[in-house]
Amino acid sequence: MELVNFILIFCAGWLVWRRPERERTAFALLVASALLMALVFFVGSRGSVLPGLNY
Amino acid sequence: MSRSRVDTVLAFAVLLLAALPLGVSVFVLGFALGDSPCILCWGQRTGMALIALVGLFILRYGPRPRYVGTGVLLGAYGLYMAARHSSLHLARDIGQGFSAELAGAHTYTWSLLVYWVCVVTMGVLLLLLRDGEATRVPRELTPLGRLATLVFLVTIAATVVQALAGSGPPPFVGPADPVRFSFDPRRWAWTMEEWKGAPISLRGRWAISKPSLDGIDPDPATGPLGGLPSLAIESDRTLAVSLKGRPDDLAYDGTSGRFLVTTDAHGVFVLDGSLSRVLRYTVIDPAFSVDMGSGLPGAAWIDSTTIAALAENKSFVVLRESDRADVEKNFRFFLESFDAFEELSRGRFATVRARLMYVSSLAYDPGRDSFWTVAVPNETQRQLVVSRFDRRDMTLSEEFVPALAPESGLALAGEKRSLAEYHVTGLTFADGHLWALSAAHSTLLAIDPLRQEVTAAWAVPGLTRPTGLAARGADLVLVGQGGQVWTLDRPTP
């Protein structure tokens, strides 16, 4: 999944640099990547959503 | 500050973010040193890349609200990820951690600083912007902006390679324990491990219920030790004094012939030898400085005027009786009766084996000038842990899980039975032994701390929610949550 995420980020950065008129597409890729990041991190930490320390 | 200067600062910040945490992670730690990120590290690195990308958006299109908002959200989530990930390892011993260390700290810890700097940088740049900048139209990148973009893209492209090797294509996902990086595809170990079902928990393994006597089986016949001899209750009466709260523990001082009773409302009561008159008392303020938990299930005399009380979370307070206590000073320590005690210290015992277990008892061992506690089992931790704390530094000095003494004749009632089934609520030290009273299965255990063994055990039928145990002469005096007082002849351990 991380592979997909960094491909999305690369594509978004490339569009910003070389195809600035595709702003909406680039931003959509950024948002998709952010949501995917949050999902994957949740998968990796769902055993304890709060920091795993004494409370 | 002019827009062009802000752009320069922002381009430099993007360049730094792309080159240092992101670039060093992939080129130095990854490709050169073989480090591979775990699934949580990947999340943190992704967040940094996205913040740098937001910076490129702002360089290209201006500080539009949705870009600034996205940057702030990513910074906030990044701080959460860094705190959540670091917390897995923060409590380890010195130098220990997960995977690679960088300049004295592990990478996941550095990310906490990186995200914090990102958020601060965004705030400073916003402060420096002039009104109306957000409405500007897209423009050409400056040379520094182009350099930042190029470095960013090269770093992300390299990270794509590392992600292919370390995590693989979907549906594979970053591993919990990554294998070191290699360009050799035969060494790539893609995994679906993290997709396996796991319960969603708020606090994870730290979600331990506070100890309670509700639902505890008092029947000695169903206990883990079979065929125990019975001890008869010699007297059974009710406390004749009025206490604030229910009795939580009991201790006896042979020199002064007085009892100490602590309660579940943080009351500390010194009673006469017949338990019929309150000689002095106070109520601890449980919220001052050290959280004193939800009661005081541990009580012990240190000498004839000094006492210790313990909360279920192993926080302790040491008090000394005084007839000239400073009432004004004591306002911070006590909720009632400000003139009866001086507070000498308040702190926390820390255990190792019983770290995720509460306690419901305390004893003082004058020979070793130490305190003893016995942990009570909970939904995830099932063991009987005995811990000793040296009074000189109030630090853990001994800890063991007692075995059954071979010559005692004691035996477990079945293969799956364990001493961990006992719920020790009363503890006292006498005859060189720890006497532990379990509310579960109403059983009295004699523990030899030198041999770390249970040398004898007795069933005590007829007890109802016992919470305290004291040794008085040849007797054992027990107190119950409902105010009952039972007396037993102390057997030979």
The DSSP string of B221-278 is: GGSSB-SPPB---SEEEE--S--SS-EEEEEEETTTTEEEEEETTSEEEEE-TTS--E
| The pLDDT of residue B365 | 98
Our CA-based measurement puts residue A16 at a distance from the nearest CA of chain B, in whole angstroms, of 7
E strand map for B314-385: 315-321, 334-336, 341-348, 363-365, 370-374
**Greater pLDDT, B159 or A50:** B159
* CA–CA dist A39, A22 (Å, integer): 26
SS3 for B298? strand
| The pLDDT of residue B304 | 97
pLDDT category at B103 given cuts 50, 70, 90 is confident
For B353-369, write each residue's pLDDT tens digit: 999 999 999 999 999 99
* CA–CA dist B216, B274 (Å, integer): 30
| The pLDDT of residue B134 | 60
B356 to chain A: closest CA residue: A54
Q: Taking each helix axis from N to C terminus, what angle separates A2-18 and B39-61, rounded to the nearest 10 degrees?
A: 10
For B420-436, write each residue's pLDDT tens digit: 999 999 999 999 999 99
The label of the residue with tokens 């597409």 reads A25
Nearest to B370 by CA among B449, B468, B446: B449
Q: With contact defined as beta carbons under 8 Å apart, do B172 and B192 qualify?
A: yes
* B165 contacts in chain A (CB < 8 Å): none
| The pLDDT of residue B246 | 98
Q: What are phi and psi of B457, to 5 degrees?
A: -155, 150
For B261-313, write each residue's pLDDT tens digit: 999 999 999 999 999 999 999 999 999 999 999 999 999 999 999 999 999 99
A54 to chain B: closest CA residue: B206
Of A31, A38, A51, the CB nearest to B87: A51
The neighbour count for residue B256, using CB atoms within 10 Å, is 16
Nearest to B242 by CA among B266, B274, B275: B275
* A9 contacts in chain B (CB < 8 Å): 46, 49-50, 53, 156
The ipTM of this complex is 0.97
Q: Which of B203, B209, B315 to probe the A interface (max A CBs under 10 A)? A: B203
Supply the mean pLDDT for chain B. Answer: 94
* CA–CA dist A44, B85 (Å, integer): 10
Of A4, A46, A53, the CB nearest to B91: A53
Which residues are paired to B472 by β-bridges?
Answer: B475
| The pLDDT of residue B135 | 55
B466, exposed or middle or buried, with CB in 10 Å at 0-12, 13-18, 19+?
A: buried
| The pLDDT of residue B136 | 58
For B440-484, write each residue's pLDDT tens digit: 999 999 999 999 999 999 999 999 999 999 999 999 999 999 999
Nearest to B334 by CA among B278, B391, B296, B360: B296
Tell me the two tokens of residue B79.
Answer: 């701080």
Supply the mean pLDDT for chain A. Answer: 93
* B201 contacts in chain A (CB < 8 Å): 46-49
